[in-house]
């Protein structure tokens, strides 16, 4: 049996995952948590697999918890399970927070396939985060640089602070934000921000500690 820890704050999704794991017959649920930091406290060397949500209770980051668990127990396999399409989530998972990543809208059968391949030693990551619908375009019309600019803009940094972080001019920051508004068919930057947050394209509220 594969000793498994499930971290999922949505109770409906939690029950769904439990049913599918039980139906498979090869998994023993050693722990079920809604808060990634609680799961982190109870994970030990005997855990073979963790299914880790990203945005958990109290806005605690499953990615941050996963990074710490991987450092303490490198042989534990971690599959990030998320509905957040923010490309930074995928990038951070790839950088070492997890062994694989699966998007919740892809179907549970695919999840079990990803889990079993991960347990066999593979690393399964999508080529890119899913594109989501904006006002008049899909989100993949925005460049990675533009999404970085939008992320820092949502966090409240000034144009100059964003420019300094990304090594571009202040006018370059303004131009990119205006270009995103135009590409997406928005009436204002505020509408762009609201849609990006609503569609989970940019997530800035996760707590690492």
Confidence at residue 57, expressed as pLDDT on a 0 to 100 scale? 96
Sign of the four-CA dihedral 65, 67, 72, 77? positive
Confidence at residue 108, expressed as pLDDT on a 0 to 100 scale? 72
Q: Measure the N-to-C terminal CA separation of the chain; round to a whole number of Å.
A: 32
Alpha helices in the chain (DSSP H): 11-24, 36-42, 62-72, 87-92, 108-119, 144-154, 159-166, 170-184, 189-198
Q: For each of the chain's 209 residues, which pLDDT tens digit applies? A: 999 999 999 999 999 999 999 999 999 999 999 999 999 999 998 999 999 999 999 999 999 999 999 999 999 999 999 999 999 999 999 999 999 999 987 667 789 999 999 999 999 999 999 999 999 999 999 999 999 999 999 999 999 999 999 999 999 999 999 999 999 999 999 999 999 999 999 999 999 99
Confidence at residue 27, expressed as pLDDT on a 0 to 100 scale? 97
Domains of the chain: 2-119 (3.40.50.2300), 139-198 (1.10.10.10)
- Judged by phi (left if over 0) then psi (alpha if -120 to 50, else beta), residue 25 lies in left
Confidence at residue 45, expressed as pLDDT on a 0 to 100 scale? 87
Threshold 0.75, pTM exceeds: yes
């Amino acid at each position: 049996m594969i000793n498994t820890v499930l971290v999922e704050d949505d109770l409906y999704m939690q029950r769904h995952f439990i049913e599918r794991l039980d139906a498979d017959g090869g998994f023993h649920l050693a722990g079920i948590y809604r808060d990634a930091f609680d799961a982190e406290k109870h994970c030990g060397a005997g855990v073979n697999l963790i299914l880790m949500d990203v945005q958990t209770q109290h806005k605690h980051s499953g990615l941050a918890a996963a990074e710490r668990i991987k450092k303490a127990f490198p042989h534990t396999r971690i599959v990030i399970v998320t509905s957040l399409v923010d490309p930074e989530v995928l990038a951070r998972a790839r950088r070492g927070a997890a062994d694989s990543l699966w998007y919740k809208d892809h179907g549970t059968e695919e999840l079990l396939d990803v889990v079993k391949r991960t347990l066999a030693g593979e690393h399964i990551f999508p080529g890119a985060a899913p594109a989501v619908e904006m006002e008049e375009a899909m989100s993949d019309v925005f460049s990675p640089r533009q999404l970085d600019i939008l992320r820092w803009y949502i966090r409240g940094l000034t144009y100059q602070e964003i420019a300094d972080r990304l090594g571009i001019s202040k006018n370059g920051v303004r131009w990119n934000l205006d270009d995103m508004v135009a590409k997406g068919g928005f009436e204002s930057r505020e509408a762009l921000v609201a849609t990006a947050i609503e569609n989970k394209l940019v997530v800035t509220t996760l707590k690492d500690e």
